[in-house]
Amino acid sequence: MNYHHTFITFGYTVDIKKLRMFHEVFITGSITLAAERLYVSQPAASKTVSALEEEIGYKLFVRKSGHLCPTDEAYYLHEEVLLLLQSFTRLEESTKSAKHHKSGKLKICSILGPSYIFLPKIISQYMKVNPDIKVNLHLLNSSEIIESVSTGQYHIGLMDKSGPTTRYDSKVVNMTCYCAVPSTHPAAKLDKITPNDLGDTPWISLNPEHPTTKAIIKSYSKYGACFNSNIEVYSTLQALSFVNYGMGVTLIDSMSNLNFTEVLNYKNIKIIPFETVMYEPLEVITANIKPMSEMVQNFYNFMIEELEKLL
């Protein structure tokens, strides 16, 4: 990459090419070698050094025994130039990475379920291919996610489905739900479950306004059964702990099922499909106050593909 930037240093405007030439002559003691290393002609290299000396107002090298030896002023200047060249090299590398969408910061916020296994898993996969990106993954509730994404604090948010709005862009993914029952429950031997199979078994459920709780109540009403919830929890992961202790049954979506199968070592739980399929909507929202960078867009596309595989 060919840069033509200039820098203000010691009160002078200096071309980066001159500083690089100065550095090469400083470490090689030769105009010829410096010219070879920077792929320029010897006369051009000599002219560059002379121009730099003229700009700063003092000699940088004196010839001794066929070598160019730095002056005391050159030793002092080189310490600063070396730091500047190192910084500029890092800038070049960052610019190249950004051009190929391999660097930048990815800021994601999520409710508990996706942040437990799914997001760390796919972020890890993405970072192996794009090692220069930096990631912020924060756990928030749905209202905090809406505010954080709509104001541009985060690029992507995963949350419970909300109402329609123009504050952000949205995609809803319907996750298949299953029934988690104690392994000692008679329904644990079934291939599929209906509300009638559960009898008066109590439910460990999310709050009454949550879409999954409403779906369970609707299903019970369809079968003419009586829905009984005696424990209300914040998350499905908490509900599974109660099921493991035989306190009742709960609804588990495909995201939580991933957590259950890969991490949670509950011995006393069976996961069984429902006769009538139920879904839990997961809403993926993105900021619309400005376009997504290509790096964020690439991750978003990858995440949606992995969500669809999970479903």
Q: Are 187 and 215 in contact (CB under 8 A)?
A: no
Q: Name residues whose C-beta falls within 8 Å of residue 198's C-beta, 6 or more positions apart in sequence.
A: 179, 181, 185, 187, 225, 249
Classify strands 168-182 and 269-273 as parallel, antiparallel or unpaired: antiparallel
251-284 pLDDT, tens digit per residue, is 998 888 877 777 677 889 999 999 888 888 899 9
On whether the CB atoms of residues 180 and 269 are closer than 8 A, the answer is yes
> Can you list the domains of the chain with their CATH numbers?
6-99 (1.10.10.10), 103-171+281-310 (3.40.190.10), 175-280 (3.40.190.10)
Q: Please tell me the distance from the alpha carbon of residue 102 to that of residue 128, in angstroms, as a whole number.
A: 11
For residue range 23-34, list pLDDT tens digits in order: 999 989 999 999
> Which residue reads 């000699």 in tokens?
59
Helix (H) or strand (E) holding 132: strand 132-139
Determine the pLDDT at residue 3.
39
Residue with tokens 């460990």: 204
What the block records as the tokens of 157 is 């948010």
Q: What is the pLDDT of residue 33?
A: 92
**127 C-beta neighbours (distance < 10 Å), count:** 15
Q: Which of 223, 219, 221, 224 is nearest to 251 (CA)?
A: 219
The predicted structure's pLDDT at residue 94: 59
- Decide: pTM greater than 0.85: no
pLDDT band, very low/low/confident/very high, at 80 (cuts 50, 70, 90): confident
